[in-house]
Chain A
């Protein structure tokens, strides 16, 4: 499993001097080197009646991890899925390896080791049976949870062998043989989400549902401006209100600067602990706080826009990548196109707002956490509270969505901080308004683009100046860009620059971080260039992908894989073309009708090891209301779609998520976030849902993840379709700022 860490880091390696890792920098990864090898005993437990319990090591927030990873184990263990019970593991990376969910990495990082864990468990049982029967292990085989010796007709169930097997030493994972994919009976066959019956019947399941005897409820009032501190407040009055048990001032040590995830430091505020959450909220509404708002109160979206304009007109601050002498050769292009693209800050808005439950008792901290990065959460709690990591137990609880938000552990630290001061378990819950105004926002950005075409209408030049947030090389989390981001390498002359303006705000990774914005810019501008060349955008892009690539050497990934290649972290043009051609075929791209007010747009992207191409069929009425009628999606995530029905759902969800983002915007005035709830930071509704068809292009690469790559292409597919329908180019998001609205 040596490859995992290395290839992961390469994935995250973006140019611009180390800023890259900030997208998905994992403190836990560094510890990974020291972790012991995984054992089958950690993951697989067999009851005498043959019931197999498989531990799910990763956190579940709707991406299907409680199915996908156990399915890999069950397949190689050779049991029937219906005899498997899945149990969520507590946090223990020394036992389970990395328990992290992010960057669509659970599939590529789990594909090999989880199958090997299953195969090693199977081998243990074979060895046990062989010894019992006094036969060589090689003479035995398995099927449906039994070890068989075909020649003699002997067989024993896993349940009968389990006790003896448990004390045997497991074979090294590297040594076990894996099934031929042709034999798969679980991988590639849809399994029902393991929690679905609990969901449909309303059983306690989510972070917000945790109930403990004597539990109290907490709510926190923070300053309306990031990192603002408490000068004074009517705390005594609040303490006298019904049901109030405690009121604490959180001094907070977070600095008013571009927030860096995974740095310790709490946001200041006032924590109210009560018998019920409603009582805490009611008391909170009576708070009168004198805040020191600090320097962040001067920030505004208008100010950001002005500064971006100035920076765009100035020489860039940093060169991410440049080759082919763009600056000196652009004048030779037959046609030059210039455009400025702008996209806003947006919020995660997980359906379940942030929160956590914690209990400090007898010098130990027990936490019920929805974090997708739980080990980091444990470390931050230990640091912030000054307690030893070893006294912290973390239960990993299903969450109502993450989309990157739960990579950050701020709410968990808050819950633990309060719990340490209270003689009872405490459930902290943020209100929806808290959730939006203290989100780790997807940072906005401005891109100045210049493209050049030769006389034959081929793309020859691409110059891009990205105005982002941060200081010098220290960019805001989620505000970096990759030096190898498409179409870098494929355009003969290319330059990518960045300039940054300061930010005092919490930002972070939002589903397909970076790509969720940059794909929209790149694929929109490619569409513009295709239009300028008078050619079909599909043909234009296929030609570009056929170009001899200019290699990128700084941090250039090498071939990865010890056992099987995990999808290379550099774009493979054939795969990119493959999804484009498949989606063109399925959508009838070549024979699409051109009519006023209705159009189709195409776009594709490679990110998080996956390839997606999408076509949107859109109409725009005379009042500029936009309806998306159909979306076709073609994906290439390798050789196997591990859980097909869940995979299709995930792709459809990614498309809805991307479409929602087209209409969302977080704005600041006087340092305050102006949006407060779903009514002014909307998510699309059922009546706005198009027909979405999903197609797979199977390739020989090992399977990769699906949480993220389906999202990015739909944004430009829709805006390119708006152009096809109206002749008007959407260069500013949200759509409303370009004169369009969702119907």
Chain B
């Protein structure tokens, strides 16, 4: 399993994204598996950012910490990322005042890093591109270093900038000049180009959510922008002419959640997404959905808190918050996506579960999942059928009584029908109510209705799939996790196998109501068991230990806004095996 790691670093706004996107797209076109992500501050312009691309001949499910090749578009990029380059790696830059980077040159020499310099600024200016095209010169140089052909790069750029023909010409000149690399000694890189191309697309998790929503028949999307959920709004809005979906940027998160409840109550499918702060505002509505037994799906895209926290970084810090969110006791379902494909599938499952059990569902995502571009095949595997749990047969509709709506049933789920579809109406009441929805404050009626609603918890638990084991049944070291922990764990299983260490991993897609049978078995077979979680407390570890009384041997926790990198998990496994 050999992967190459590229990083394009510079200030936000210097065009590193377009470089990153062109490169990622090209690599995918050449048949490589690609996994890329962007690190950036919560600013529009300025501030150090980078885009990292891990690529190789086999699936890549997480990012690495160390890089092989860095393009630094500015001095900051140079300084900040030199240390991330592996011994013998390459740093491509266009920083003309060499005397200012003497110490860096010494540092690089010590670790045998090739510092490749091209006067990218003057080249770009001479060719008429100005500062904005420095990135193209360096891109050309990097492509040369990678040892790939110029032609496909020219084609990719032509495609990317087809709409700006004047600039395109200059873009191409700059790229060629970079590729020519006059006077630069190019280190020999040999990256074999794959013979075939996987049938996969390169998308991020938020696109997975958007496509999952569309596939599941969602007809209304309401949201208020908040990183890292915002691009779901962008994607769905941009698709809206094709889908006819009502996509509304609401005035706040309370509105978004309320509108979704209104639309769901009326019988269509709606969706909302937000991040922690926005979810906090939605919780009263989540509670209301619990009370009136209205389906509601809120995708919670996590970022580190508390408060505004680290808006553009990643976290798994809101699991317990999601589980325990909103006042009162009611059935609620929490899931967690781990990559774009699971975003796509779990969004569909969430809508089915919400409608089948008439309950709020919170699919969790995280910046790392929302924005990382990963190769996936969405059509692979069994299609998820839409399950609405609605009464639709004319005969059955005709026979309905108002009290059927909140009838005390064995599993707590009562009949639900689209308003206007049956002669019997019903009353969705956020006050405690009887079977027909009419308000009651009688102790016995209140107790019975609470018990009816809470019976759904067990019904849901039985319906949810249990956690799943990846890797060998027994291992030297075992991990348990959810969300983006899966990607890094799966890559670590392979990386550790190469080192002769047997690793396995237990993954939770469905987190609440918690199922623990598979965990108990896994724990029994694998005493050297460790939690892998991107938060301070080990929130799932706490839940599992609390529920089963079984303990983890160790907890590998990270809460600095960064995801787990492959090397870190491999190193942890080596130390704790």
A and B from one assembly? no
